[in-house]
Every structure is written in C-alpha cells, then in structure tokens.
A = this chain, B = another copy of it.
C-alpha cells in the first residue's frame, strides 16, 4: 500500500523511506537490505489499466459458495491512535472513586467502537486491534494506555457520521473516567469506486468461463485503491476458507485460485483487445 501510494503521489518518496516499524527498521533500510532500492523515477512507468487478484480476506464468498467476487470498489477507512493518560496507582489501596484508571477508559472506548459499528449495520465495521498498557503490572492501576481504532464503511457520508460519533464518544469516556484521552486520525481513505468498464470485463470473464460470481465491495484497502486514482482499475476476488486472513490458518483452495487467475487473464486480454483503459 505504501509503495503504490508513492507511485500515485499520495506519499512522497522521502516520507515512505523514513517510515519505521515498531523495531525501528526504516522502509528505505529494509528495501536496501532485500535489494529492492532502485533509482527509477516515480510515475515514469505508464499504465493503460490495472487489474489486481486477491483472496477476499472475508467470509462472504466462501460462506455463499461463490467462486469469483467482482470488486466494484473499496470501502472507506479511518484509522485512529488514542493516548489515554490517568494516574498509576496501587490496586490495593486506591479507593475506587479516587481512581483515574485508563484501562477502564480503554474498555469503555472499545465497547463504544463496537456500538458505533453495529449502529451502522450491516456494512459498518469497528475494531480495536492494538493495545499497549503501561506499566502493565497486575497490582498497579494503569496510568497510560495507547490503543488503535479502525472504522470502515463503503459509504462516505456514513463513515463521516461514524467519525463524529467516535469523537464524541471519546470525549464522553474521558469525562466518565476522569482521564485524558487524545485521539488522532492517522489515515482517512475515502470509499473508492473502480472503473465501470474494467469491472464489467471482470464480470463478463467470470460469466464466460462459467464461474459462480457476485459483485462485492472490498473490505481491506489494496494497491488497487491507490492506483485507481491514476488509471482504470478493477479487482478479482477469490474465496478463502472461513474468510480467515492475517492469521496462520489463512487458506485458499487450488481450483478457486486457478479460477481467479483465469478470470484475471481473460479480463486483461479483453481489456487489451478493446483498449478499454482508453475510455
């Protein structure tokens, strides 16, 4: 996602190079280490169109027994980082009303994120995925928690509404727990609609090849989401078992992977034959 973001001008090369993981390794250093640091200029590679093949990373195709997902676009996505500050204190001698317990604040916010997502069912999603508690000791009321929030919805206006609900929820939790909560939105991806002609080529290829298929909105972000801002783009999805992804149990069936590759090839050949990207 970072590399395609640089390619289309969302990020500068310098920004991407300077990114660090939690162990302090930079993106540039790691590119160099694996031999991928080159000096070709961003954007000098022309694109007529862009097609991307991916497992769904969700359960819809697998549970409905469908072989090909025709991705019509990707949902919008907002990421937040929340810092909660209270007071480290002894768990055995600090009366409940005197506490400024940030784990309690984090718990209330986690339930709040869940409520916001369910309030915009079925498409709304909300996740607290990363939680870092300090000092993280069993008999100390935590005085600092850092946690992340991921909100998604395919409709831009609804995602903005979820954003507003999130911001007021955080203020409410801080008041109720007498803690300081600061939240920062570190990613704001608008919903994406892929190119109608490219999407049609994917749908027709699946049809022609006789695979069960359905339209679907991508849950995750993908390189295609970035690249769609500079060239006609579509995606082909294949099922993965129980939708499990980002997990060592991630699994896809060979025949469905082959079906996806076939649809990808036929869509690209047809795109090339009809110069669909030029429309």
Residues of chain A at interface, number, CB under 8 A = 64
Residue from B87, B127, B139 within 8 A of A101 (CB atoms): B127
For residue A137, CB closer than 8 A to chain B, the reply is: yes
Evaluate contact between A89 and B245: CB separation under 8 angstroms.
yes
Q: Which of A89, A92, A150 has most chain B Cβ within 10 Å?
A: A92
Instruction: Show 12 A/B contacts (Cβ-Cβ < 8 Å), sorted by A.
Output: A60-B95, A77-B92, A87-B247, A88-B246, A90-B220, A94-B219, A95-B122, A95-B125, A103-B127, A129-B137, A131-B136, A139-B150
CA distance A133 to B148 in the complex (A): 12
CA distance A247 to B117 in the complex (A): 37
- Work out how many copies of this chain go into the complex: 2
Evaluate contact between B90 and A219: CB separation under 8 angstroms.
yes
Chain B minimum-CB-distance residue to A117: B96
With A103-B110, A152-B92: A141-B129 Cβ-Cβ less than 8 Å: yes
Chain B minimum-CB-distance residue to A120: B96
